[in-house]
Chains A and B, each alone.
Chain A
């Protein structure tokens, strides 16, 4: 199991356009990725490719989330996803 934390950089938090971009990126990966707020138990983590799950997570700007994945290339995949979360997608 690989695990990474990321701080949400988008001003509006992880919904609307930033959530779309992130969910689409996860959807393109061959592995399953979960997302949870930092400090939440791993079994409560949600499917990171689901825009609805991301929206219900309610992560605001500055919140820290935990990404988890298993399998080949999990580390590289999580690195790339952390970069997306730590960019202010709303500003682009």
Chain B
């Protein structure tokens, strides 16, 4: 039997624990599958009703333990499980001789199709119907329900890959580490693992065939899962605990070894996040994702609601800086009141700042709300627009900010055109912030969600690093020393963070979990070291080589187990 499984380490940490496999997705019952000869149609219908009821009770129990928006969704989903429309259509099919599994499968499909045709909010609920359908089929078959397994003791979760819906229901108290056979460094598994601080390995073929309950060792930095852990692995886990204790604290002062200041800021989605970030030592907020305050909303939040949401974040950082990004709807983050979900190519469509073209007014009202929330607060409030492509757009946004009484307007650099014209864009606004995830996807023309293109979709791509360097050069050319920050995933990678600083980036904003690791590594190099490492990275032939070269110049990574 294979002892070691290697993959890509995406979130550091070493741990020993027993594994639980994510149940396989429920397979489609074969078309035309007949009722078993021993079963009458009436008996099959009864079984279906009973299974639907069991699924409903299970979902109701989960709803009872949930809060807020996810509670409401679970309650509605529970009702769907025994819904007459779904069940009656299935029973009609059973009476024609089809198996109960196939009948509920088809009935669920036609209900989902109906919802999709209704569009908008209804279309989104189609996923819930399909989830309920899968649960009922699993119940009829007597196999575990799809979704994260429930267990009393914390475990290492192993899966083919995790979907956003799975990661949303993941309880970090119950999970020790994540290991997937598929996925890539930008997959949802990787992002959620980093956000929760869980060790994680992705793209480790074969792990999804391991038996439930066996004990394994996982190293989320080296990208390794090994069976039958012994003395060596136990020692490695202990060494990690010591390193983690060092990494647990950020002193709240981002700087290089020679005292060059690089404020380390946090990316937050609301007041709760902001309080946590402040506790973790963040020197401000480099990215307030305002759409996260309103993701479950079907209608535009009122100005009063917005003021409360923003004020909560400002209050967590008195006297410090908070960069508010205006609503970034579209592509992977649709907002019903702004997004047209029927676009053939949403990543290149009306998203971010562009929604002001199709739904004028929302942005102006948001700016008014931000200005009201900033009133009387000691926080330095900066505002930036996402998806800016031209200097004209930057100028328009700056004018809107001025009208609202907001003093420090900026824009995000995510579209390569904005990086190329950074000097002219900075002639219109006071700062820019690089969104490296989108900048990478647009520079490399590679969809962020596609595992197959993971190698193209790396911020280590020399072309991406070059565009970051060009943005800094644009700021120098503009002549007023206007700051260039980074607020993408790249800033959270302690190795890449050094390169960014070497390229001349002024501030780094990241998930607050990464502050201490980035701070510790940055403190180990001088600004000159960082500049040399940046040159090595930009001149490397490919992302793997770039990363390898920079790692070789950062001995502290080994010491800290990163």
Contact = CB atoms under 8 A, between A and B. Distances in A.
Contacts, number: 52
A24 B79 CA distance: 7
A18 to B, nearest CB: 10
Interface stretch (A45-53, A65-73, A78-86): A45-53
Given A20-B75, A52-B111, 17 more contacts: A12-B299, A16-B72, A16-B121, A17-B76, A20-B72, A23-B83, A46-B85, A51-B79, A51-B80, A52-B80, A52-B86, A52-B115, A52-B129, A53-B84, A55-B125, A56-B114, A56-B115
B122 A56 contact: yes
Interface residues of B, number: 19
5 contacts: A17-B75, A20-B79, A51-B83, A52-B83, A53-B83
B534 to A, nearest CB: 50
A4 interface: no
A89 B276 CA distance: 33
B48 to A, nearest CB: 16
Interface residues of A, number: 20
Contacts of B143: none
Given A12-B299, A47-B85, A19 B76 contact: yes
B552 interface: no
Nearest to A17: B72
A58 interface: yes
A33 to B, nearest CB: 11
A21 to B, nearest CB: 9
A46 B88 CA distance: 13
A11 B85 contact: no
A24 B83 CA distance: 10
Given A52-B111, A56-B114, A47 B84 contact: yes
Interface string B58-92: 00000000000000100110011001111000000
Contacts of B114: 56
A65 to B, nearest CB: 17
B477 interface: no
Contacts of A20: 72, 75-76, 79
B445 interface: no
Contacts of A47: 84-85
A55 B115 CA distance: 8
Contacts of A51: 76, 79-80, 83
Contact of B299 (A11, A19, A49, A58): A11
B63 to A, nearest CB: 10
Interface on chain B toward A: helix, strand, loop, or mixed SS? helix
Contacts of B122: 15, 55-56, 58
Contact of B85 (A12, A53, A58): A53
Interface string B113-131: 0110010011001000100
A11 B121 CA distance: 14
B298 interface: yes
Interface string A32-65: 0000000000000011011111011010000000
B84 A50 contact: yes
A16 B128 CA distance: 12
A24 B56 CA distance: 12
Nearest to B125: A55
A19 B83 CA distance: 12
A52 B85 contact: yes
Contact of A12 (B83, B115, B298): B298
Contacts of A46: 85
Contacts of B79: 20, 23-24, 27, 51
Nearest to A11: B299
B136 to A, nearest CB: 14
A17 B74 CA distance: 10
A53 B111 CA distance: 10
Contacts of A27: 79
Contacts of A23: 79, 83
B130 to A, nearest CB: 13
A16 B76 contact: yes
B116 to A, nearest CB: 11
Contacts of A52: 80, 83, 85-86, 111, 115, 129
Contacts of B86: 52
Nearest to A21: B75
Contacts of A24: 79
Contact of B84 (A12, A49, A56): A49
A53 B298 CA distance: 20
A33 B299 CA distance: 30
Nearest to B112: A52
A52 B86 CA distance: 8
